[in-house]
Amino acid sequence: MNALFKDENAVYYECKFSCDNELFLSLNDEGYFITDPRYTTEAKEKVQGAEVVEAKDINKKAREILRKKRVKKLFYDPKEFSCQDLEALRSKLDIKFLPKPNLSWQKRLIKSEEEIRLIRRSVQLNAEAFDQFAAFVRGCEGWSERRLHFESISFLSRRGEYELSFDPIFAIDKNAAKPHAYPSEKRLHEGALVLFDAGIKYERYCSDRTRTASFGGDFDFDKEQKFKNPKVQRAYDIVKKAQERAIEAARSGMRAKDLDKIARDIIDGSAFAGCFVHSLGHGVGLDIHEMPFINSKNGQILKDGMVFTIEPGIYVPGEFGIRIEDMVVLQNGRAEVL
């Protein structure tokens, strides 16, 4: 299949290198990494399995290669290209550009053993950072979400050694009722509910983890938590149960939406019906959000080698929010927590 890629992670998957001005042509068994003179030296050092082509005008060079190779059909992911990009590429070419949504994600859906190894290491490093950050937070009573959000980045990145998968979420009490809360000036206090959602990248592969905890004493991000507010404790126990059931029930061969339903039915069957406002999970790899998407509408069949999150939640606006998230890989038909 002849295909064209522009997204950095899509290109990296093809040849182990990417930059912010590139095109990658995959033409049967040949690959062409096209970039400008700023990147060719490093590209020649790192690109694998493809020819590095230098060009001041990468669209023009791509057209030249396509003409030379007499390509008649070319697949691309429409999300990767603007209308202007496509017009620049199609100019004066007698080629059918065929849109194929999620082209790279489809190729990356089943992770190789090496990818699973890298993701597993990313998850381990992330968990270690969670523990180190929790120990630090014990002495931070009175600090704001904004300050603690800033400090979390240092712990996650090991002071710049690793990139982050996304901007961390550090939310206290009612701010945690916003699934993707922005940090505020709300202060950490004894008995506060703390929701922390964060991830790092290891050799470009992402991790993603969320814990909800009660601040005080030997504060930690373990799953066993005790809250002073009985309503919060009930909600936490329900979310924990929903996650455990979903992990236990996950099987290769089942539909994504059926896995979502297992966790959702537990929450909707409680006093917190309707408070689980997002999907159960999403794939993780080179992108922090990629296929498969574990939601109530996705009939995709889950298979061995897929990596995704399981992250049920309960959100009560103006009061609190709870989410527990882990990453799993399907192996030998069942889910293994990474």
Mean pLDDT of the chain: 96
Q: How many CB atoms lie within 10 A of CB 101?
A: 10
Number of domains in the chain: 2
What is the rounded average pLDDT of the residues 304-331? 98
Residues 135, 300: Cα–Cα separation, whole Å: 41
DSSP H helix total and E strand total for the chain: 9, 18
Q: Are 145 and 172 in contact (CB under 8 A)?
A: yes
> Of 66, 85, 107, which residue constitutes the final position of a domain?
107
| Pair (130, 57) in one structural domain | no
| Pair (117, 38) in one structural domain | no
Q: Residue 248 has what pLDDT?
A: 98
Query: Which residue type, as a one-letter code, is found at position 268?
Result: D
What is the rounded average pLDDT of the residues 28-36? 95
Q: Residue 93 has what pLDDT?
A: 87
- What are the tokens at 154? 């240092």
Taking 90 as the threshold, does the pLDDT of residue 254 lie above it?
yes
Q: Are 326 and 119 in contact (CB under 8 A)?
A: no
Burial of 217 (0-12, 13-18, 19+ CB in 10 A): exposed
> Of 107, 142, 167, which residue constitutes the final position of a domain?
107
CATH number for position 321:
3.90.230.10
| Pair (214, 327) in one structural domain | yes
Q: Are 276 and 267 in contact (CB under 8 A)?
A: yes
280 DSSP 8-state letter: S
Residues 99, 103: Cα–Cα separation, whole Å: 9
Whether the upstream peptide bond of residue 317 has omega within 30° of 0, thus cis, is: no
Residues 226, 127: Cα–Cα separation, whole Å: 21
> Of 69, 90, 107, which residue constitutes the final position of a domain?
107
Q: What percent of the chain has pLDDT over 70?
A: 100
Whole-structure pTM value:
0.94
What is the rounded average pLDDT of the residues 193-216? 98
Q: Residue 92 has what pLDDT?
A: 80
| Pair (242, 202) in one structural domain | yes
CATH number for position 20:
3.40.350.10
- What are the tokens at 314? 């309960």
Closest alpha carbon to 180 in 313, 62, 63: 313
- Identify the band that residue 90 occupies on the pLDDT scale cut at 50, 70 and 90: confident
**DSSP symbols for 273-297:** TT---S-SEEE-SSSSSEEEEESTT
Taking 90 as the threshold, does the pLDDT of residue 21 lie above it?
yes
CA atoms within 13 A on the CB side of 220: 8
Residues 257, 295: Cα–Cα separation, whole Å: 5
| Pair (132, 95) in one structural domain | no
| Pair (137, 98) in one structural domain | no
Vertex 280 angle, CA 301 and 327, to 5°: 85
| Pair (41, 161) in one structural domain | no
Q: Residue 88 has what pLDDT?
A: 87
Closest alpha carbon to 85 in 4, 1, 3, 2: 4
Residues 164, 167: Cα–Cα separation, whole Å: 7
| Pair (200, 286) in one structural domain | yes
Residues near 275 by beta carbon (within 8 Å), at least 6 away in sequence: 235, 267, 314, 315, 316
Q: Give the pLDDT confidence of 277-296 residue by residue, as tens digits.
A: 999 999 999 999 999 999 99
Q: Are 171 and 321 in contact (CB under 8 A)?
A: yes
Vertex 100 angle, CA 95 and 104, to 5°: 115
β-partners of residue 76 are: 4, 99
Domain range for residue 31?
3-107
| Pair (226, 98) in one structural domain | no
Q: Residue 207 has what pLDDT?
A: 98
Q: Are 33 and 22 in contact (CB under 8 A)?
A: yes
Q: Residue 159 has what pLDDT?
A: 81
Residues 295, 37: Cα–Cα separation, whole Å: 44
- Identify the band that residue 160 occupies on the pLDDT scale cut at 50, 70 and 90: confident
What is the rounded average pLDDT of the residues 171-185? 96
2 DSSP 8-state letter: -
Q: What percent of the chain has pLDDT over 90?
A: 94
Closest alpha carbon to 175 in 291, 309, 319, 74: 319
| Pair (222, 262) in one structural domain | yes
Residues 162, 61: Cα–Cα separation, whole Å: 35
Closest alpha carbon to 138 in 151, 156, 124: 151
| Pair (191, 288) in one structural domain | yes
| Pair (19, 39) in one structural domain | yes
